[in-house]
């Protein structure tokens, strides 16, 4: 039998590379499995990403959405900190964008209308009078193609979707990608790209509902948002066009505040937060957008982004009608979202950063969710 006998040089190399912390880590990697089958027979795959510290993220090709994310608490115990379901059938029955990739344009477009280069466009209306999160069949409800891609510091999967010209009313064929990378430094990094053959608005985001306690309501989670301004809205949640200071209002999260401390005193969104914050240092690349700390488990989520804004949504419309993973009923405020994005209804507000992508240009943006404990 041929046995491997290490040479002296190999032994020295092994000793040098096996530092105490490296010895305790696991190899990061990706595993693909069958998740379910669409009514038309299309197979939905699940990709399980693991990192060196045991963090596990699971993403499926339906909606390029994250179904599970297991991260350690202060005691090192892993817990699933995102809302979702146990099977494809539940996702197909309809849900409020749990874990999903959102596009072609995340957030609202007033009355589903805009004018671009002198042409009027009408989009699908799926939120009262408005267009929301890409329409009736947005990027959260389509099947993406997945491929495992190399990552320098972890494990990665790239999802691609080609949105046909005219889909939900949008102009141009758009090829969008989102790459999920789970790094060995405990970050989940989302890199987005898009290319088009006609000018079109694009605003991709992720709609994960976080619950750092792994269950219950999120009202005691302590939130900080790196924004001195927000975009006030009308009673259909369309921005008025103002970029208003948060100082002295219940919108102010520039210092850490429990999410539930001022929830019910909001104008125009009486059930809770559902607002876009205009992040500080817009245009300066990747920077901290928000930090959330859960005192019970010690879990901390930091969100970094290259985007100008973040929609903070406190799970107001969860209403105990959905039974999620492990038969958990999702009550109001059982999860919150931090949707990094361009501002809502940007196509109708020339004073907001533009969402228009033109042919030959590449849309490129990234958001990082970083996990730790304190
Ligand atoms: C919107 C909410 C909406 C939620 C889920 C959020 O991004 O701002 O108004 O209810 O998504 O549908």
Tell the residue nearest (CA) to atom 2 of ligand 1.
274
> Can you tell me the distance from the alpha carbon of 314 to that of 60, in angstroms, rounded to the nearest whole number?
25
In this predicted structure, what is the pLDDT of residue 152? Answer: 86
Mutate to test the pocket of ligand 1, among 63, 95, 132, 340 (most ligand atoms within 8 A of CB): 132
Q: Is the pLDDT of residue 215 over 50?
A: yes
In this predicted structure, what is the pLDDT of residue 13? Answer: 40
The pLDDT confidence band at residue 322, using thresholds 50, 70 and 90, is: very high
Active-site option among 221, 294, 339, 342? 339
As a whole number, mean pLDDT of residues 127-149 equals 98
Q: Is the pLDDT of residue 263 over 50?
A: yes
The pLDDT confidence band at residue 260, using thresholds 50, 70 and 90, is: very high
Is-contact 55 371, C-beta < 8 A? Answer: yes
Q: What is the DSSP string of 147-169?
A: EEE--TTEEEEEEEEEEPTTGGG
The pLDDT confidence band at residue 25, using thresholds 50, 70 and 90, is: low
Q: Is the pLDDT of residue 16 over 70?
A: no
- The rounded Å distance from CA 274 to ligand 1 centre is 7
168 catalytically annotated: no
> Over the stretch 151-194, which tens digit does the pLDDT of each residue have?
989 999 999 999 999 999 999 999 999 999 999 999 999 999 99
Mutate to test the pocket of ligand 1, among 65, 83, 84, 96 (most ligand atoms within 8 A of CB): 96
Q: Which atom of ligand 1 is nearest to the CA of 106?
A: 7
In this predicted structure, what is the pLDDT of residue 5? Answer: 44
- The rounded Å distance from CA 204 to ligand 1 centre is 14
In this predicted structure, what is the pLDDT of residue 22? Answer: 38
As a whole number, mean pLDDT of residues 309-319 equals 97
- The rounded Å distance from CA 373 to ligand 1 centre is 28
> Over the stretch 278-299, which tens digit does the pLDDT of each residue have?
999 998 999 999 999 999 999 9
Cβ within 8 Å of residue 3, ≥6 positions away: none
Is-contact 59 69, C-beta < 8 A? Answer: no
Cβ within 8 Å of residue 257, ≥6 positions away: 222, 223, 224
In this predicted structure, what is the pLDDT of residue 269? Answer: 80
CB atoms within 10 A of CB 39: 7
Tell the residue nearest (CA) to atom 8 of ligand 1.
274
> Over the stretch 101-114, which tens digit does the pLDDT of each residue have?
999 999 999 999 99
Percent of the chain with pLDDT over 70: 93
pTM to 2 decimals? 0.92
Tell the residue nearest (CA) to atom 12 of ligand 1.
96
> Over the stretch 55-78, which tens digit does the pLDDT of each residue have?
999 999 999 999 999 999 999 999
Which domains are seen in the chain, by residue range? 29-373 (2.70.98.10)
As a whole number, mean pLDDT of residues 320-326 equals 96
Active-site option among 207, 229, 275, 349? 207
Tell the residue nearest (CA) to atom 7 of ligand 1.
107
Strand pairing class (113-116; 78-80) = unpaired
Q: Which atom of ligand 1 is nearest to the CA of 339?
A: 7
In this predicted structure, what is the pLDDT of residue 4? Answer: 40
> Over the stretch 118-131, which tens digit does the pLDDT of each residue have?
999 999 999 999 99
167 catalytically annotated: no
- The rounded Å distance from CA 230 to ligand 1 centre is 17
Q: Is the pLDDT of residue 255 over 90?
A: yes
Tell the residue nearest (CA) to atom 6 of ligand 1.
313
In this predicted structure, what is the pLDDT of residue 109? Answer: 98
Is-contact 104 196, C-beta < 8 A? Answer: no
The pLDDT confidence band at residue 26, using thresholds 50, 70 and 90, is: low
Pairwise pLDDT comparison (24 vs 368), residue with the higher score: 368
- The rounded Å distance from CA 128 to ligand 1 centre is 12
- If residue 90 lies in a helix (H) or strand (E), which one and from where to where? helix 88-92
Instruction: Look over the chain and give the mean of its residue pLDDT values, rounded to a whole number.
Output: 93
The pLDDT confidence band at residue 23, using thresholds 50, 70 and 90, is: very low
Q: Is the pLDDT of residue 17 over 70?
A: no
Q: Which residues line ligand 1 (CB under 6 A)?
A: 96-97, 237, 274, 311, 313, 317, 337, 339
């Amino acid at each position: 039998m041929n046995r491997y006998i290490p040479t002296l040089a190999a032994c020295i190399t092994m000793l040098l590379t096996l530092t105490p912390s490296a010895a305790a880590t696991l190899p990061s990697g990706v595993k693909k499995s069958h998740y379910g089958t669409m009514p038309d027979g299309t197979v939905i795959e699940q990709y399980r990403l693991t990192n060196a510290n045991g963090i596990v993220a699971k993403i499926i090709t339906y909606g390029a959405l994250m179904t599970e994310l297991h991260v350690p608490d202060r005691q090192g115990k892993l817990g699933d900190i995102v809302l979702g379901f146990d099977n494809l059938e539940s996702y197909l029955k309809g849900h409020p964008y749990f874990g999903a990739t959102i596009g072609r344009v995340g957030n609202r477009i007033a009355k589903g209308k805009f004018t671009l280069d002198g042409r009027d466009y009408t989009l699908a209306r799926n939120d009262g009078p408005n267009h929301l999160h890409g329409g009736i069949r947005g990027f959260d409800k389509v099947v993406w193609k997945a491929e495992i891609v190399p990552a320098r510091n972890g494990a990665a999967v790239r999802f691609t979707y080609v949105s046909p010209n005219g889909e939900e009313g949008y102009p141009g064929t758009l090829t969008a990608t989102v790459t999920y990378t789970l790094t060995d430094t405990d970050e989940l990094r989302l890199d987005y790209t898009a290319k088009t053959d006609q000018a079109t608005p694009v605003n991709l985001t992720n709609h994960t509902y976080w619950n750092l306690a792994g269950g219950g309501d999120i009202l005691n989670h302590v939130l900080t948002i790196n924004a001195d301004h927000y975009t006030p809205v009308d009673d259909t949640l369309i921005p008025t066009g103002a970029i208003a200071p948060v100082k002295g209002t219940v919108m102010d999260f520039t210092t850490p505040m429990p999410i539930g401390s001022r929830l019910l005193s909001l104008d125009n969104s009486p059930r809770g937060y559902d607002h876009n914050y205009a992040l500080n240092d817009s245009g300066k690349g990747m920077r901290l957008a928000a930090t959330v700390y859960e005192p019970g488990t010690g879990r901390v989520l930091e969100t970094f982004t290259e985007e100008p804004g973040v929609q903070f949504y406190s799970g107001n419309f969860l209403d105990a009608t959905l039974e999620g993973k492990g038969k958990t009923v999702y009550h109001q405020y059982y999860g919150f979202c931090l949707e990094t994005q361009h501002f809502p209804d940007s196509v109708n507000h020339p004073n907001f950063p533009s969402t228009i992508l033109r042919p030959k240009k590449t849309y490129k943006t990234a958001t990082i969710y970083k996990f730790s404990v304190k």
